[in-house]
Structure 1
Amino acid sequence: MTEGVDPAGRRAALDAAMEEGGAWPAGSPWVREAMAAVPRDAFAPERLWRWDGRAYVPLDRGADERGWADELFDGIHDAAVTQVDGGLPSSSLSAPAVVADMLDSLRLEPGHRVWDIGTGQGWTAALAAWRSGPGLVVSTEVDEHLAAFARQRLAAAGLDVEVVTGNATGAEVPGGGQVDRIHATYALEAVPWAWVEAVRPGGRIVYPWGLLGHVALTVADDGKSATGWVQGLAQFMADRTGPTPAPTGHTAYTAVRGTAEPDTERVLQRDLSPLESDWDLRFALRVAVPDAVLLTGRDDDGVNAWAHDGNRSWAAFTARGDGTVVLYQGGPRRIGDDVMIAWAQWEELGRPDRYDYGITVTPTSQWAWQGSPDGSRWPITQQPAPARS
């Protein structure tokens, strides 16, 4: 074991980094107090996983405590991968800044009953329990191994939280009745209506949407709908029981295209560089074309882009160095045209940022909207979401 790792010092440095980065929510000062009282590292397993550029490799505390601590403490916007299945992450300790933002969005008060969905290692359930009070948080985890680990760590922290093993997607609250808040930690495309029914009128549901952002819904007074705004960008693990996520990366694009020649090609007057750096644009495209997996790359001629739907349709945008792009497309659908139409629509709407979007859920449908629930809207269906790379 490497000597010289000071957990208290690392926690203080992380606290200071959160302060410097403006990540502590001014409207919820309790979040900072809770993270000090219930530190993230108390819920970290002895083995973390680090991406080495090619694969996730184990990082054991007993063999490299300093490396383990670096993985856990160094970035306020970085999750720490705690479980890998089939070469891909399947659980993590979420980034401190994202957790703080989601808990701020939850508007949690003492005495609130909370359903924490996706226990993982138990840290977010612990933070909610610190705020709500003993016996008021129930957490559901589909993986029995993770559930057992969380129970042990929660007990060690002296927190009264019930951890139930099971699939929470579409399920009722364990123990029945209604809760004041739902806090989900895995990404969903569509919100199960059962979750809305599980929350009292005026209560809130905070959840990651489609692996790209998190949303805070408020249940209507009549309980017949829930609506709310996008709160921020973040990537989360996908619902293990949902559709298989579409793979990412150029290997996935190549698998969709195969050896096919393009069915069509045309020249566009379009600079693709915003696709590389403008996350408001990327978010808008995600809303309008939810099954499009977008990739970018730069060469001497500028930014190039590729898109596919994880199935049979593909598009390649090839920069020519003169401000124009050649769009090649193949498959049964013109997915490149879909992306260009959505881009033009975003510009027509005045290039709104991610915080100008929201979601409404009813028993029979749900949709994303821009500006207001009655503004421009896009239907939400249960589509495979791009896997976290």
Structure 2
Amino acid sequence: MNWSDAAAGLAEAATNRHSRWRGPVATTPRHEFIPRWWERGPEGWELHDGQSDPEAWQRAAYRDASLVTRVGQWHADRADPGDRPKGRPTSSATLPSLVVQMFQHARIDDDDHVLDVGTGSGYGAALAARRLGNEQVTSVDVDHYLVAAARERLAHAGLNPTVKALDATGDLPFDPDSFDRIVATVAVRKVPASWLTALCSGGRLVTTLAGTSLLVTAEKDPDGGATGRVEWDRAGFMHARSHSDYPPGAENVRTIAKSSDGDEVCVGQYPVVDVANAWDLSSMLELTAPGIEHEYWEHGEERGAIMAHPDGSWVRATSVGDSWPTIHQGGPRRLWHLLDACRSHWLTHGELPVRGAQVFIKPDGTTIIARGDWHVKLS
């Protein structure tokens, strides 16, 4: 495979002309970090093998797109062609422009020591090591197989940063003040206290909040906490895992929501909306009521949505044309009312307060997001 020209094209697409990340993108063989991957097909997840179709491999690896490498507990590397895994994606090779964006938000200087949280395919660690050198880059992931595979692929690319298998949301085996920058390509509900311990005073961390498109940057304060902001840019990553897979979600609750009359039936005051793709609305709702799962559909003039939570709360909203939706709700909470509260805030104030908000992180990781009179505590 003549990958050099393809990598140069990717660098042009993923970086600006004078970016210090253009060289690393242009000289890193991304295809070697993604030999196999999953794509959704008409019958579910389908396996793609690079060696069996080098041209398709090159096209996939050198476009600015994410490639799913693990679904549930199924690694693409270890799968057979007929396998059809179930569950949510649990690891991927992130689109290069987003990796670069996260590094740019970190404001990495040439002498900085960087902790890359979420090794995944190893491609992000490769870019960092290509720019900074092996000694200045440490990458961690909860998945032992991914770590071993990434080490091997990094070595094949002539790189040897430190790569460790560990749960980054727990204690970290690093001395205090070990890193100038921490960049996470996995999302967290609150910033782990161990990250603050490992970050040097004045050091900068970049992460996203789980279930949202909110990108947080913060600098460590002398008291061991950190202060920052929600950036105006959007970014989304898989939730950080502590185990081999995510805990069971609300699939059973969604099944109930599809046909049950529920405990309450009413007429909604706002149209049915595709919450998952209304990024600011989804982010606001996730901060105030985390863990809701969403479905949305359109069939002709009918629009419908389901919201479900593992605690048993659910809602089904349907409408035809421009009519107000019929709302069925059940369980301990009224999820549609929580959504409507977010939409009312938007209409009343002209925007939602989440983007551009201030972020205050206590030494124990408790995270407070505030803007004007609005605030929420993530703990």
1:7 has 2:3 as partner: yes
1:62 has 2:62 as partner: no
For residues 247 and 233 of structure 1, what CA distance do their matches in structure 2 show?
Answer: 25
Deviations 1:176-215 (A, max 9, x none): 5421111122222121111112111221111232143332
Q: Given the superposition, is the C-alpha separation of residues 163 and 367 from structure 1 closer, same or farther in structure 2, using an over 3 Å criterion?
A: closer
Secondary structure of 2:121's counterpart equals: coil
Instruction: Check the 8 A contact 2:116/2:137 in 1, yes or no.
Output: yes
Match of 1:30 among 15, 20, 23: 20
Equivalent in the alignment of 1:229 = 230
| Pairwise CA distance, 1:276 | 7.2
Gaps of 5+ in 1: 19-23, 382-389
For residues 13 and 279 of structure 1, what CA distance do their matches in structure 2 show?
Answer: 30
Equivalent in the alignment of 1:385 = none
Q: How does 1:206-221 map to 2 (within 5 A)?
A: 206-213=206-213, 214-221=215-222
Equivalent in the alignment of 1:168 = 168
Equivalent in the alignment of 2:346 = 346
Equivalent in the alignment of 2:194 = 194
1:73 has 2:69 as partner: no
| Pairwise CA distance, 1:273 | 4.3
| Pairwise CA distance, 1:377 | 1.0
Q: How does 1:212-291 map to 2 (within 5 A)?
A: 212-213=212-213, 214-230=215-231, 232-241=233-242, 244-245=246-247, 247=249, 253-257=253-257, 260-273=260-273, 275=275, 278-291=278-291
Letter in 2 for 1:38: T
| Pairwise CA distance, 1:135 | 0.9
Q: Given the superposition, is the C-alpha separation of residues 358 and 35 from structure 1 closer, same or farther in structure 2, using an over 3 Å criterion?
A: farther
For residues 47 and 303 of structure 1, what CA distance do their matches in structure 2 show?
Answer: 37
Equivalent in the alignment of 1:380 = 378
For residues 152 and 265 of structure 2, what CA distance do their matches in structure 1 show?
Answer: 59
Secondary structure of 1:262's counterpart equals: coil
1:315 has 2:305 as partner: no
| Pairwise CA distance, 1:81 | 1.7
Letter in 2 for 1:225: A
Deviations 1:199-243 (A, max 9, x none): 112211112321433322221243233432235333323222169
Instruction: Check the 8 A contact 1:366/1:379 in 2, yes or no.
Output: yes
Letter in 1 for 2:239: A
Instruction: Check the 8 A contact 2:273/2:305 in 1, yes or no.
Output: no
For residues 9 and 172 of structure 1, what CA distance do their matches in structure 2 show?
Answer: 39
For residues 292 and 142 of structure 2, what CA distance do their matches in structure 1 show?
Answer: 28
Equivalent in the alignment of 1:155 = 155
Equivalent in the alignment of 1:41 = 31
| TM-score, L = length of structure 2 | 0.85
Letter in 1 for 2:225: K
Secondary structure of 1:356's counterpart equals: coil
| Pairwise CA distance, 1:370 | 4.8
Secondary structure of 1:340's counterpart equals: helix
Q: Given the superposition, is the C-alpha separation of residues 254 and 139 from structure 1 closer, same or farther in structure 2, using an over 3 Å criterion?
A: closer
| Pairwise CA distance, 1:161 | 1.0
Instruction: Check the 8 A contact 1:257/1:312 in 2, yes or no.
Output: no
Instruction: Check the 8 A contact 1:316/1:327 in 2, yes or no.
Output: yes
Moved over 6 A (4+): none
| TM-score, L = length of structure 1 | 0.83
Instruction: Check the 8 A contact 1:122/1:150 in 2, yes or no.
Output: yes
Instruction: Check the 8 A contact 2:116/2:140 in 1, yes or no.
Output: yes
Gaps of 5+ in 2: 75-84
Equivalent in the alignment of 2:305 = 305
Secondary structure of 1:186's counterpart equals: strand
Give me the identity figure in percent. Answer: 27
Q: How does 1:130-141 map to 2 (within 5 A)?
A: 130-141=130-141
Q: Given the superposition, is the C-alpha separation of residues 170 and 328 from structure 1 closer, same or farther in structure 2, using an over 3 Å criterion?
A: same
1:99 has 2:99 as partner: yes
Instruction: Check the 8 A contact 2:211/2:283 in 1, yes or no.
Output: no
For residues 280 and 177 of structure 1, what CA distance do their matches in structure 2 show?
Answer: 34
- Over the aligned positions, Cα root-mean-square deviation in angstroms equals 2.8
Instruction: Check the 8 A contact 2:191/2:367 in 1, yes or no.
Output: no
Q: Given the superposition, is the C-alpha separation of residues 37 and 10 from structure 1 closer, same or farther in structure 2, using an over 3 Å criterion?
A: closer
Instruction: Check the 8 A contact 2:68/2:91 in 1, yes or no.
Output: yes
For residues 300 and 216 of structure 1, what CA distance do their matches in structure 2 show?
Answer: 43
Letter in 2 for 1:142: V
Deviations 1:127-150 (A, max 9, x none): 222333341112222222221222
Q: How many aligned positions are there?
A: 364
For residues 297 and 100 of structure 1, what CA distance do their matches in structure 2 show?
Answer: 34
Letter in 2 for 1:83: R
